[in-house]
Amino acid sequence: MDDQFRVRRDAFLRKIGVHPVVMGILNLTPDSFSDGGRFPTPAAAVAHAHKLFADGADIVDVGGESTRPDATAVAAGDEWTRVEPFLAAMARHPDKPLSIDTYKASIAARALKLGAVLVNDVWGLQKDDAMADAVAEGEAAVVIMHNRAEKDETIDIVSDIRRFFDRSLERAARAGIPLERIILDPGIAFAKSSRQNRDVIERLGELRGYGLPLLVGVSRKAFLGSLMEGSVEATLTGTIAANLAAAAQGAAIFRVHDVAEHVAALKVFGALGVGSAQAESQAR
């Protein structure tokens, strides 16, 4: 990988832990649960990416396949057709780091060649056996997200997450992915009940023992609506509240649709010193 790529990757990674990192969401899909079909042309997608960066995003996460429950699987060729024009256009803006949201190694490898610096894998290197090698060979950073084939309300979800992470980290080590390039995501709202989603946020601090940055993605998730009287769907208010709760438990990266609002909320949160006080309490 060329030096320019490494500079972009490392500049992004250095932000983690210095301040809350905001990852803007860009779905180039017709069927994503919140914003599917909103960006039908490469020009529209590029314009929105620039808005996300202008609003304060540290990185933009682009995906060409919906991962919502019951979404239709997309062939690799179709997924690439959706994301390639956007990635090619954004290659002219090397100062704006991109992440590729995919569980397919072939898509990840091609996206890295077009300048993406991070692979966001919703199956944590466990769906495609070639993914860990693709990340390692591309010298990319990676988000390892917890997922399950199906929901099971009887299990201790945090214990399940830890077992999943242990398997994924073994794969990463075998492939030669350095720990300093790994981010963990507990996969809130992926094959989890509403109670389990709340458990993950409440017990997020239990995952800090890995010594790796924690990413949370609760933006506009349906389970948030059930926590607000009279609300049938997730709202911005609920999303911000959940992200601040996660920040208090040690989350470092926040994957969101509404970037400007989260940048402002997290700035106030940091100024109040709530996160640092929580971290000190947990360390005792």
Reported as a single tens digit per residue, the pLDDT across 165-181 is 999 999 999 999 999 99
Tokens of 147: 């997922």
Q: What is the pLDDT of residue 284?
A: 40
Q: What is the pLDDT of residue 280?
A: 47
Q: What is the pLDDT of residue 213?
A: 98
**Dihedral of alpha carbons 118, 120, 124, 125, sign:** negative
Average pLDDT, the chain: 90
User: Looking at 8, 110, 192, 221, which residue is catalytic?
Assistant: 221
CA angle 185, 190, 193 (to 5 degrees): 120
Q: What is the pLDDT of residue 250?
A: 96
User: Looking at 9, 110, 181, 255, which residue is catalytic?
Assistant: 255
Pairing outcome for strands 182-185 and 21-27: unpaired
Residue 255 annotated to the active site: yes
Residue 267 annotated to the active site: no
Q: Taking residues 4-15, what's their average pLDDT? A: 96
Q: Minimal CA–CA distance to 89: which of 51, 38, 43?
A: 43
Q: What is the pLDDT of residue 234?
A: 58
Q: In the chain, where are the structural domains located?
A: 3-283
Q: How confident is the model at residue 34 (pLDDT cuts 50, 70, 90)?
A: low
For residue 164, pLDDT over 50 is answered with yes
Q: What is the pLDDT of residue 69?
A: 66
Q: What CATH code is assigned to 3-283?
A: 3.20.20.20
